[in-house]
Structure 1
Amino acid sequence: MSRFEIAKDTVQVVTESAASHVGRIATILSGAVREVTHEVGEWASDVVEMRDAAARAREADLAGNARGFDAEDDPTV
């Protein structure tokens, strides 16, 4: 084999190896981004649910106070 062929083969193998590793790294990163996005979405849903529950509790408390007793005294709450 000539020096040119050896160099060409070396460059080819290194390029193929780099492409494989970059592809694997991209797969890892895209999976991580997907998982982080999922967790942030779940957290946002929890925040919305807590906000809605707090609003319902305030409304129930205000309704109870309007009837002349605290929501804590209401056996149906």
Structure 2
Amino acid sequence: MKEQLSRTEIGKDVLQESVEAVASTVGQVTNIITTAVKDVATAIGGLATDVFEIADGARKANEDFDEFDDLDVPADVPADVATPDEAE
């Protein structure tokens, strides 16, 4: 004998499948957005690290330059010829 479903039961099944499909899609989109936000945060953090390293390198280079600038190099020696080893 053929089992018949009532209109109410068919409607309930359609609604259930629809809600499940929407929930699955929302979950997938949420996962995509979460991953994207994480990736952006990682990239910005990497950029910040690079900026700090560049600033630190520039500070150290300026300190080295200031130390070299303080050396007593005779006036007749061009600056591009004198090195810290030669000036000692």
Query: TM tier, shorter chain?
Result: 0.7 to 0.9
Distance 1:34 1:67 in 2: 50
Higher relative contact order (CA 8 A, sep 6+): 2
**Any gaps of 5 or more consecutive residues in structure 2?**
74-78
What residue in structure 2 maps to residue 55 of structure 1?
59
Aligned CA-pair RMSD: 1.9
Equivalent of 1:37 in 41, 47, 58: 41
TM normalised by structure 2 equals 0.76
**Any gaps of 5 or more consecutive residues in structure 1?**
none
Count of residues paired in the alignment: 75
**1:1-77 aligned within 5 A:** 1-69=5-73, 73-74=83-84
Relative to total residues, which structure has the larger helix share, 1 or 2? 1
TM normalised by structure 1 equals 0.86
